Structure 1
Amino acid sequence: MTRLSVEMLAAAPVEPITSAGHAQLGIAAVAGIAVIVLLITKFKLHAFLALTIGSLALGAFAGAPLDKAITSFTTGLGSTVAGVGVLIALGAILGKLLADSGGADQIVDTILAKAQGRAMPWAMVLIASVIGLPLFFEVGIVLLIPVVLMVAKRGNYSLMRIGIPALAGLSVMHGLVPPHPGPLVAIDAVKANLGVTLALGVLVAVPTVIIAGPLFSKVAARWVDVPVPDRMIPARASEELQRRPGFGPTLATVLLPVVLMLAKALVDIVVDDPAKMVQRVFDVIGSPLIALLAAVIVGIFTLGRPAGFSKGRISQLVEKGLAPIAGILLIVGAGGGFKQTLIDCGVGQMVLDISKDWSIPALLLAWLIAVAIRLATGSATVATVSAAGLVAPLAADMSTTHAALLVLAIGAGSLFLSHVNDAGFWLVKEYFGLSVGQNLKTWSIMECIISVVAGGLVLLLSLVI
């Protein structure tokens, strides 16, 4: 048996909760995932309930006692929410501050004022990538689509030429870069270093978003040429505000957690001595919790106050920012419960044992598993948490950088081919006024490009670092 790391031993029992063989465990894993897929796609059940039922079904098919399967699920749910729940909440608050204060609009307007003509698609990628750092994908779409439609309408640009780069920037951030929920869950599952994963995620994200955004948009604009749907141009969030925060303070606030986490990763590499004060300081300020908490506190003064928000309104804004993430937290938590059930039943170790005799690289295996679950469920988050649970034992003997690349391989696979079972597919279709076929030729292919390019870059990096 491959030696497990101390962290893996702490996260999972030494002995599995069932004595099932590899064949039964394989059938149980497939059956558990099939139950989740069927409940989500056929019966339209919420992903939280589907993951909960699927976890219990997995335990039953694996021959585990029901009480132990329930304990595994609740333990995994609790540890996952404890690990990433606060980070998701802080990210939601920061995103709400950014949107309601007009800070997001300030970034958009400032960058668009500097871009004209051929530079516009590149400006849209930059805007989406910056805005997409603290915002969930759906929130980013709702925030940026009005900008995309207005720019295309007023500048007489092709809708696809402007829209695809913006969607690519949001999607890449969502799948590859923490503190988004998917990458955070995968980092927690495989015990990867968040700072290293963030740094490598940005490294992979830049060329990926260039290829899937501005470059692919040229092709997409030729394939699909549709007018801007005027009915879908809503009022912008900050139009009711008398003043907005400045561009510099807004950008600094958005990038603050990223800078702090990257600084910690850099200090860890350069100093590499936990006893030294400088490393201990950066271990604190560069931790995700402190980095995001600092950004929220700073944002109250750099975003909320300049917009004229009173203390009461800021308090209400925080409350409203937390409300929409209840469903996300439950899905992520249930995904963690499913992951822990997989591990406790011995499915993760089974994958490790079987894959020893395969010539397929671990990173490619992780990508393929995430692709399969994404195609079946339509959810990038479900694909990420399920794939992370299956391949987590593969990270036990990996280096810090390769564990981070494993997270990115899972994230890349989770974005593959958004189609009719994905809520994002319909969101983009309706906002852009596309037919199903047109959306498949633009949005869906863009997602495939992101997944394949990012996956390829991850495999390439694994050969050189």
Structure 2
Amino acid sequence: MTRLSVEMLAADAPAPITSAGHAQLGIAVLVGIAVIVLLITKFKLHAFLALTIGSLVLGAVAGAPLDKAITSFTTGLGSTVAGVGVLIALGAILGKLLADSGGADQIVDTILARASGRAMPWAMVLIASVIGLPLFFEVGIVLLIPVVLMVAKRGNYSLMRIGIPALAGLSVMHGLIPPHPGPLVAIDAVKANLGVTLALGIVVAIPTVIIAGPLFSKVAARWVDVPAPDRMLPQRASDELERRPGFGATLATVLLPVVLMLAKALVDIVVDDPADRTQRVFDVVGSPLIALLAAVLVGFFTLGRAAGFTRDRLQQTVEKGLMPIAGILLIVGAGGGFKQTLIDSGVGQMILDVSKDWSIPALLLAWLIAVAIRLATGSATVATVSAAGLVAPLAADMSTTHTALLVLAIGAGSLFFSHVNDAGFWLVKEYFGLSVGQTVKTWSLMETIISVVAGGLVLLLSLVL
């Protein structure tokens, strides 16, 4: 985008809802974020309520009329849910189908049957990465814990040697790869190309998950040499089924939306003619909505019917898949409202003006902002949506590639050092039977490695692309 077009966009943009100067806006941001952090960490308030209150506080401190601050928040909430809400819902349905039909177990068992010894940590990271594509992080952990404990016990492996690669695969997918909520919100906020972001996300994710998973697990197993907890393994979904989907059909269903979105990105690069019929077709089938919808519809047959599900059982699976995402949708929506309040108050433009005098690269700035919010709130999703709102104006004069890298920088920063204010920290601690110190030396350090390695790779790619 040329400087002239940026100036024209600035001229056409709506006037800020406040006339506050840079100092007052800076204070408003700090106070707003501090309120959100305090409400989440000290008063244990749900992130949706904390983001709502923090947005209104930010508007008030910035000197915006309350009615305009409310309008900004509700507008941002509505547009964010409209942009990514359906995608999150479709992803949840696909994930539930994968879990309930035994498709996930089929992938796990097939890969484990062909892996042994030194290959087992690599098999675990592969399983987690494939299964983690359509699943939310918490669901993925619950699904994979029985597998991790079973493999560690039967093979007499250190729990960390098996567990860390599985956690790394899930975490990298969660932070960097659409259609997970965080990356989708960031893509929507900075107006990035989803296909390009997905392609570059895979490029960044592969070396990141190798370093933070199988390689780091060697070190983690020496630091925390613990066996799998001696307790009853949770029952797997497929244990109650007479039959389950085939490996090939399950894998094809999981990868279908990724293939369609990548195909669209490739056609856009090769053809680059909006009037071309081929490009128009791929613009439709490769859009995230159609790609995920196609995977869900295909999954009804390749997963649901293959497992012997009746129509009523399929309907129940869809309903159960949608129920847990209410909280996620509200948090993502409120994050969008917070983002819009930042933009309408002029905070985004303020950061754009101030950062012009800094020597710090925009991608590094985005990573650092996401890191700070992640450390404060403990939520990768809150860190992503807040950081995306703050740095969105920086994308105005970026190329398509660098805008996608901006999304990945935010996603990488949002994973930095999970600690006691993160629900994921306690989930890992309890499932693996670790102490707080052991969890910090394994899980928290693994998350930091993911964040730093992915952030470094993003900066490296920005120099060559």
Do they superpose with TM above 0.5?
Answer: yes
Q: Distance in 2 between matches of 1:12 and 1:110?
A: 56
Distance in 2 (CA, whole Å) between partners of 1:133 and 1:331 is 21
- Identity, % of aligned positions: 90
Offset of residue 97 of structure 1: 0.1
**Partners of 1:374 and 1:383 within 8 A in 2:** yes
**1:201 shift after superposition:** 0.2
Shift of 1:3: 5.7
Partner of 1:170: 170
The 3 A distance-change label for structure 1 pair 353 and 11 is closer
Q: What are the residue-to-residue correspondences of 1:196-275 with 2, within 5 Å?
A: 196-231=196-231, 233-275=233-275
Q: CA offsets per residue over residues 125-162 of structure 1, 9 Å max, x none?
A: 00000000000000000000110000000111110000
Which residues in structure 2 correspond to 1:397-412 (within 5 Å)?
397-412=397-412
Q: How far, CA to CA, are the matches of 2:77 and 2:155 in structure 1?
A: 48
- Give the gaps of 5 or more residues in structure 1: none
- Give the 3-state SS of the residue equivalent to 1:115 in structure 2: coil
Q: Per the alignment, do residues 52 and 117 of structure 1 end up closer, same or farther by CA in structure 2, a change over 3 Å counting?
A: same
Structure 2 counterpart SS, 1:232: coil
**Is 1:295 matched up with 2:295?**
yes
Tell me how far 1:9 sits from its aligned partner.
Answer: 5.6
Contact persistence 1:232–1:431 (CA under 8 A): no
Task: Tell me: CA distance 1:232–1:352, structure 2 relative to 1, closer, same or farther (3 Å).
Answer: farther
CA positional deviation for 1:227: 1.8
Q: Deviations over 1:61-108 (max 9, x none)?
A: 000000000000000000000000000000000000000000000000
Query: Partners of 1:185 and 1:139 in 2: how far apart?
Result: 20
- Cα distance in 1 between the residues matched to 2:11 and 2:175: 24
Residue 4 of structure 2 aligns to a residue whose secondary structure is: coil
Asked if structure 2 preserves the Cα contact closer than 8 Å seen for 1:370 and 1:413, the reply is: yes
Deviations 1:26-47 (A, max 9, x none): 0000100000000000000000
The 3-state SS of whatever aligns with 2:24 is: helix
Q: Quick check: 1:101–1:244 contact (8 Å CA) kept in 2?
A: yes
CA displacement, residues 293-341 of structure 1 (integer Å, 9 cap, x when unaligned): 0000000000000100000110111011000000000000000000000
**Number of aligned positions between the proteins:** 465
Of 224-233 and 396-405, the range deviating more from structure 2:
224-233
Q: CA deviation at 1:14?
A: 2.4
Structure 2 CA distance for aligned equivalents of residues 232 and 253 of structure 1: 32
Alignment TM-score, normalising by the size of structure 2: 0.98
- Structure-1 separation of matches of 2:135 and 2:456: 26
- The 8 Å contact of residues 59 and 66 in structure 1, kept in 2 or not, is answered as yes
* Farther-moved stretch of structure 1 (126-135 vs 226-235): 226-235
**Inter-partner Cα distance in structure 2 for 1:224 and 1:92:** 34
What is the CA deviation profile of residues 201-221 of structure 1, one whole-angstrom value per residue up to 9, with x for unaligned ones? 000000000000000000000
Change (3 A) 1:2 1:401: closer
Distance in 2 of aligned mates of 1:159 and 1:412: 26
What's the counterpart of residue 329 of structure 2? 329
Please give the per-residue CA displacement for 1:231-251, whole angstroms capped at 9, x wherever unaligned.
Answer: 252111110000000000000
Comparing 10-19 with 266-275, greater Cα deviation is found at: 10-19
Deviations along 1:374-396, one digit per CA (max 9) or x if unpaired, are 00000000000000000000000
Mapped contact 1:13–1:344 kept (Cα < 8 A)? no
Is the alpha carbon distance of 1:105 and 1:5 closer, same or farther for their aligned partners in structure 2, counting shifts above 3 Å?
farther
Residue pair 2:157, 2:227 contacting (<8 A) in 1 also: no
1:189 shift after superposition: 0.2
Aligned-partner Cα distance in 2 for 1:3–1:305: 55
Deviation, 1:60, is 0.2
1:274 positional shift: 0.4
How much does 1:5 deviate? Answer: 6.8
Compute the displacement of 1:230 (Å): 2.5
Report if the CA contact (8 A) 1:8-1:396 is conserved: no
Please give the per-residue CA displacement for 1:143-189, whole angstroms capped at 9, x wherever unaligned.
Answer: 00110000000111110000000000000000000000000000000
Q: Which residue of 1 aligns with 2:453?
A: 453
Structure 1 contact 4–397 (Cα < 8 Å) conserved = no
3-state secondary structure, aligned to 2:297: helix
Contact 2:367 2:413 in 1 (8 A): yes
Which 4+ stretches in 1 moved above 4 angstroms? 1-13
- Unpaired runs of 5+ in structure 2? none
Q: Partners in 2 of 1:5 and 1:111 — Cα distance?
A: 52
RMSD: 1.7
The secondary structure found in structure 2 opposite 1:306 is helix
Conserved 8 A contact 1:110-1:247: yes
Partners of 1:371 and 1:3 in 2: CA distance: 30
Q: Does 1:154 align with 2:175?
A: no
CA distance in structure 2 between the partners assigned to 1:182 and 1:434 by the alignment? 28
State the TM-score, normalizing by the size of structure 1: 0.98
**Against the structure 1 CA distance between its residues 232 and 431, is the aligned structure 2 distance closer, same or farther, given a 3 Å change threshold?**
farther
User: How far is the alpha carbon of 1:226 from its aligned partner?
Assistant: 1.1
- Measured at CA, do residues 23 and 256 of structure 1 come closer, stay the same or move farther in structure 2, by a change above 3 Å? same
Inter-partner Cα distance in structure 1 for 2:5 and 2:67: 27
Q: Partners in 1 of 2:39 and 2:317 — Cα distance?
A: 35
Retained in 1: the 8 A contact 2:152–2:227?
A: no
383-392 vs 227-236, which moves further: 227-236
